[in-house]
Homo-oligomer: A and B are copies of this chain.
Amino acid sequence: MTQTRRRGAALEAAIYLATREILAEEGLAGLTFPKVADRANTSKPVIYRRWDSPFALAIAALQDKIKRENSGRTDEIKLTGRTLAEDLTQVLKRFTVSMKTFDESYLGSLMGGLNKEQGAAIQRMIAEGNAIDINAIDRVVKRAQDRDELGAGTLPDQVKLLPFDLLRYHLFVNQEFSDAELASVIDDVLLPAYHHALEH
């Protein structure tokens, strides 16, 4: 057996990696210091000396990953599109990519302290809710068409679901969504979108 002993940055890197693996597999609820020490092939005191709580370690581990894989901020992209649509696509695609190493691990790991089957249970509930919400929008659009406010045709499902997704997101992250903001979304986003898709 090679008598080697890691320390400093190399040791911390191993601890962060182990932490992220446990987070991915078991979520925040399953993240304990003994498990981390075990998985990183080190000992408990090493972990206890450095961090105060599993949550603090989780934050550190994820920030470490972001630092390593820094894929750039959305406002530092070189924009090369020739149209508004192309520029928006560039920004949002970059955002999606960086989110996948950020939110997915970061918020995803932290917020979703769920395992596989638990996640599946939640998925079903969301799917049921979506069907109901699409229905609701269909009725609203039908009424608008009947009174000749909108032309014929149908909206894409994700356009129908957009306001519900948006409101749910704000509830998730505990951000207030005021009546004024709701009115703005309706007036500034939904109405233009509906009229664009369902012109006379």
Contacts and interface: CB of A to CB of B under 8 A. Distances in A.
Majority secondary structure, A binding face? helix
Contacts of A27: 113
Nearest to A183: B89
B103 A122 contact: no
Size class of A's contact patch? 35 or more
Contacts of A125: 106-107
A144 B73 CA distance: 20
A192 to B, nearest CB: 4
A69 interface: no
Contacts of A51: none
9 contacts: A74-B136, A74-B164, A87-B144, A88-B190, A92-B186, A96-B177, A111-B113, A162-B189, A192-B192
